[in-house]
Chain A
Amino acid sequence: MKLLSLRSVLEKPMVIEEISLSEMQVELGEPLVQMRGIVKIFPGVVANDNVDFDLYAGEVHALLGENGAGKTTLMNILFGLYSPDEGEIYVAGKKVEIRSPRDAIRYGIGMVHQHFKLIPTLTVAENIALSLANAPAINPSKHLVEEIERYSKRYGLEVDPSAYVWQLSVGERQRVEILKALMGGARALILDEPTTVLTPDERDELFKTLRRMADEGCGIVLITHKLEEALSVCDRITVMRNGRVVATVRPNEVVAADLAKMMVGRDVLLNYEKPPSEIGEVVLRVEGLRVLGDRGLVSVDGVSFDIRSGEVFGIAGVAGNGQSELVEAIVGLRKVESGRVEILGRDVTNQPTSRVLGLGVAYIPEHRIERGIAPDLSVVENLILKSYRNPPFSGRLAMNTDYVREWGKRLVEEYEVVTPSIDAPVKLLSGGNIQRVIIAREFSQEPKLIIASHPTYGLDVAATEYVRKKLLEQRRRGAAILLVSEDLEELLALSDRIAVMYRGRFVGVLEADEITLDRIRVMMAGEEEAS
């Protein structure tokens, strides 16, 4: 048993006071941080395998790689969250040991995590006070308001210091995180996949802010798996694959296809074939749906649409505009205030989920760990979660174990799930393989309606490719598909029609021949087209 935390109670922080990037003179182009020979092993995976990484003052440095390449791990080590098994870290040329985020912050290293590290029940000012070692002991949030506003103005990071974090949009939360790091004196700032939650406009704003910070002498690490981001806004790009650094290049030395190949290790298909399919009867009909969100406010405000068999109906929009509530209301996980949901002509408004799913509905939930699987159960048990009650899986008294195992093995093979065995707990699988298990369970029942919420979110290129291919296969088979996604390329590639959702309403619905990236982008910001 490691007594790490006891040690951390008793020991003083390891920081050597003189080294702090915020006070030191590091010329532009000189290294702020150097990592050498970093090795980090998790049970069963070498997450970082002898990695070298440099960050210079004045640069925006992309850390590019597929999911699971080891980017977050590497930066968590720099930020003191993980302790490396081997390797050395130098700050402004001096060797240091970073034992906790506390140490990292003192050295002038800040990090904006992919899953924000903010306390929703505290205000913006309180969250910032939390991270500032020199915040006043009494009434800190009041004393900080002015300073927060000054930083907000200087970097274009508008946010209300007295608002509670739970009231903020994701974009605003991100601004709070950046403010937190800046006000803490961060000179080396790490951002982990910062753009996944932003609208295109917010993303452009963010990049402007980052550039401004770099010009002032900061070094920025931008973790991403999006090629165009790395190419368009960064000064240098380090590509990681399987825990190793493949190369560090400048954007003018490469093109997107080179980077993709470095990331994946083979050529990737960036286009999908979408043959015309036969459009049939109406499978899902939603009329005037009104649904409340968790906080009791209207989240879905009078939404109506139909989906026919053989059709993919996409819903675009920045997360938090009511898409999740809409989906939950359709499958019966959230109460419908008014309006109607019909599946295959049957009224299922406010019916129990089991009844809705029983009509031949496949559901790929947004939160795949919390809602999509039972993490501690085995792969095969997860594969029969929806059907275990029925023959032939279940006999009169007991489960039909032989049949279940046979069937599980077949699905694992057919859907190419990489797992040590069908009895391994499903939580041990990677995100992509967990999604394969869910898809295998849902699609093997030949559903009439598929409700897919962010089905490729956070998956690597190969897994994404697979999921999209499977969705198109189901479309060809004649399923009606509701696809909620923030990934515009995905929506464009798969959808026959696209609705754009903003503040609980459809801003508009585009037919196949009207869909363009630009029109969707404009509508995502809430602007109706004059057409």
Chain B
Amino acid sequence: MFEDVAISLKIAVEAGTPILLASLGEIYAERSGVLNLGVEGMMMLGAVVGFATTLTTKNPILGVLLASLVAALLSLVHAFACVSLKANQVVSGLALTMLGVGISGVLGRQFVGSPLPVRVAEASIPGLSDIPLIGKALFSHDPFVYLSYALVVILWFVLYKTKLGIEIRAVGEDPSAADAAGVNVALVQYGCVALGGALAGLGGAYLSVVYTPAWIENMTAGRGWIAIALVIFAMWDPLRAVIGAYLFGGLEALQFRLQQALFFGYRIPVTLLGSLPYIATIAVLVFASSEAVRKRIGAPSALGKPYFREERVF
């Protein structure tokens, strides 16, 4: 039983990792005031690029790196549209998702059914992994999970404890004030959007290269959207994103367990179980937004609004 729980937690962490990575990226983009609804598309693109590269080069590290790079490039399209051309961020983001999903669907068709010849090995951390429960759940993973731990801490530190972090938060709160303080608003936004793209790509590649090392159609299955919802749940804070991501990962783990379980003699339909994360997304959004209202902690004030320097402010 104890072992069971530990394994479930371990699966929860692994299932939560792609969502966590994508959320971290979106947190940065949104903190700089740019809403990017293209996360799903960038994840998909990352997944296909990561998979294809690993398949041909047998080098998962290269696969994941290339996936981040390509997804970051895709996100720059969004940055160009929103920051430089001041286009509507919702429309541009949706277009990005369609583009990413479409491209990876076409490219991925040839891979359907082919498993990856290489696996990313697990690397338990000596010492830490012997702690009961926690050791199994947190410290017996592949290296990318540890990378995500490091990213959480680094991104939190940068956002709250460095000059760059102040600049990012300022740009997302009030770009005109940041501008007047001498911050290069466009540069900060480009950077954050690109980081968001890179992390979404990384999350996507984690799915196709590490988590399920085989190509499945519609690989990301809405995880990009969950990641966006998670940003709100996390109140734009990288540390809080961890909790949310593992909660969702936990739901995925739970699905597998419940598939075997009998309720009053019946099996729960698989489709119903499959919709659990999405139902949870809605529940989380409802809950988080009411809590946000109560605490008056909101989105970055300038989120979604293009900045025109010479526009009249009343």
Chain A residues with a Cβ under 8 A of chain B: 1, 3-6, 8-9, 42, 79, 81-83, 100-102, 105-106, 111, 113, 115-122, 126-127, 129-131, 133, 135-141, 180, 184, 294-295, 369-370
Q: Which of B264-314 contact A (CB under 8 A)?
A: 296, 307, 309-310, 312-314
* Contact with B182, one of A102, A140, A369 (Cβ below 8 angstroms): A102
Flag if B84 contacts A6 (CB, 8 Å). yes
Q: How many chain B residues have a CB neighbour from A under 8 Å?
A: 34
Residue of A nearest to B306 (CB): A5
Flag if A137 contacts B179 (CB, 8 Å). no
**In the complex, what distance in Å separates the CA atom of A111 from the CA atom of B179?**
12
Minimum Cβ distance to chain B for residue A133 (Å):
6
**In the complex, what distance in Å separates the CA atom of A116 from the CA atom of B180?**
10
Q: A81-B179, A115-B313, A180-B181 are in contact. Are A137 and B186 (CB under 8 A)?
A: no
Flag if B83 contacts A101 (CB, 8 Å). no
**In the complex, what distance in Å separates the CA atom of A5 from the CA atom of B162?**
25
Given contacts A6-B84, A129-B166, A131-B182, 18 further A-B contacts (CB under 8 A): A5-B84, A9-B187, A9-B190, A79-B180, A101-B179, A101-B182, A102-B184, A111-B180, A119-B170, A119-B178, A122-B166, A122-B170, A130-B181, A136-B163, A137-B163, A138-B163, A139-B161, A295-B296
**In the complex, what distance in Å separates the CA atom of A184 from the CA atom of B180?**
12
Enumerate chain A residues within 8 angstroms of B80, measured Cβ to Cβ.
6
B183 within 8 A of A: yes
Enumerate chain B residues within 8 angstroms of A138, measured Cβ to Cβ.
161-163
Q: Which of B158-189 contact A (CB under 8 A)?
A: 161-164, 166-167, 169-170, 173-174, 176-187
Q: A81-B310, A119-B169, A119-B170 are in contact. Are A135 and B180 (CB under 8 A)?
A: no
Tell me how many residue pairs across A and B have CB atoms closer than 8 Å: 100
Q: A9-B184, A9-B187 are in contact. Are A117 and B163 (CB under 8 A)?
A: no
**In the complex, what distance in Å separates the CA atom of A136 from the CA atom of B174?**
22
**In the complex, what distance in Å separates the CA atom of A415 from the CA atom of B85?**
41
Residue of A nearest to B187 (CB): A9
Flag if B181 contacts A1 (CB, 8 Å). no
Flag if A137 contacts B182 (CB, 8 Å). no
Minimum Cβ distance to chain B for residue A192 (Å):
11
Flag if A122 contacts B169 (CB, 8 Å). yes
Enumerate chain B residues within 8 angstroms of A129, measured Cβ to Cβ.
163, 166
Closest 6 CB pairs of A and B: A131-B181, A117-B177, A102-B182, A5-B186, A117-B180, A6-B84
Q: A8-B184, A81-B309 are in contact. Are A130 and B167 (CB under 8 A)?
A: yes
**In the complex, what distance in Å separates the CA atom of A294 from the CA atom of B313?**
23
**Could you name 6 residue pairs across A and B whose Cβ atoms are closer than 8 Å?**
A9-B186, A102-B184, A117-B177, A117-B180, A117-B181, A131-B180
Enumerate chain A residues within 8 angstroms of B177, measured Cβ to Cβ.
116-119
As a 0/1 sequence over residues 213 to 238 of chain B, the CB contacts with chain A under 8 angstroms (1 = contact) are 00000000000000000000000000
Q: A118-B177, A136-B163, A139-B161 are in contact. Are A130 and B183 (CB under 8 A)?
A: yes
Enumerate chain A residues within 8 angstroms of B313, measured Cβ to Cβ.
115
* Contact with A3, one of B84, B161, B164, B180 (Cβ below 8 angstroms): B84
Flag if A113 contacts B170 (CB, 8 Å). no
Q: A3-B84, A119-B173, A137-B164 are in contact. Are A130 and B186 (CB under 8 A)?
A: no
Enumerate chain A residues within 8 angstroms of B176, measured Cβ to Cβ.
117
**In the complex, what distance in Å separates the CA atom of A152 from the CA atom of B182?**
22
Enumerate chain A residues within 8 angstroms of B181, measured Cβ to Cβ.
101, 117, 127, 130-131, 180
Minimum Cβ distance to chain A for residue B278 (Å):
32
Q: Which of B175-207 contact A (CB under 8 A)?
A: 176-187, 190
Residue of B nearest to A3 (CB): B84
**In the complex, what distance in Å separates the CA atom of A8 from the CA atom of B166?**
20
Residue of A nearest to B80 (CB): A6
**Most A CB atoms within 10 A — which of B161, B182, B296, B313?**
B182
Flag if A8 contacts B186 (CB, 8 Å). yes
**In the complex, what distance in Å separates the CA atom of A180 from the CA atom of B178?**
13
Enumerate chain A residues within 8 angstroms of B310, measured Cβ to Cβ.
81-83
Enumerate chain B residues within 8 angstroms of A180, measured Cβ to Cβ.
181
**In the complex, what distance in Å separates the CA atom of A135 from the CA atom of B178?**
15
Q: A122-B169, A137-B162, A140-B162 are in contact. Are A5 and B180 (CB under 8 A)?
A: no
Residue of B nearest to A434 (CB): B314
Enumerate chain A residues within 8 angstroms of B167, measured Cβ to Cβ.
130
**In the complex, what distance in Å separates the CA atom of A486 from the CA atom of B280?**
51
Minimum Cβ distance to chain A for residue B244 (Å):
21
Flag if B180 contacts A101 (CB, 8 Å). yes
Minimum Cβ distance to chain B for residue A531 (Å):
41
Flag if B83 contacts A5 (CB, 8 Å). yes
Minimum Cβ distance to chain A for residue B305 (Å):
14
Enumerate chain A residues within 8 angstroms of B307, measured Cβ to Cβ.
5
**In the complex, what distance in Å separates the CA atom of A274 from the CA atom of B3?**
87
Enumerate chain A residues within 8 angstroms of B173, measured Cβ to Cβ.
119-122
Minimum Cβ distance to chain B for residue A173 (Å):
12
**In the complex, what distance in Å separates the CA atom of A107 from the CA atom of B192?**
29
Minimum Cβ distance to chain B for residue A488 (Å):
25
* Contact with A135, one of B84, B163, B179 (Cβ below 8 angstroms): B163
Enumerate chain A residues within 8 angstroms of B85, measured Cβ to Cβ.
1, 3
Residue of A nearest to B312 (CB): A42
Enumerate chain A residues within 8 angstroms of B186, measured Cβ to Cβ.
5-6, 8-9
Q: Which of B124-169 contact A (CB under 8 A)?
A: 161-164, 166-167, 169
Enumerate chain A residues within 8 angstroms of B190, measured Cβ to Cβ.
9
Flag if A126 contacts B162 (CB, 8 Å). no
**In the complex, what distance in Å separates the CA atom of A302 from the CA atom of B187?**
51
Residue of A nearest to B307 (CB): A5
Minimum Cβ distance to chain A for residue B195 (Å):
15
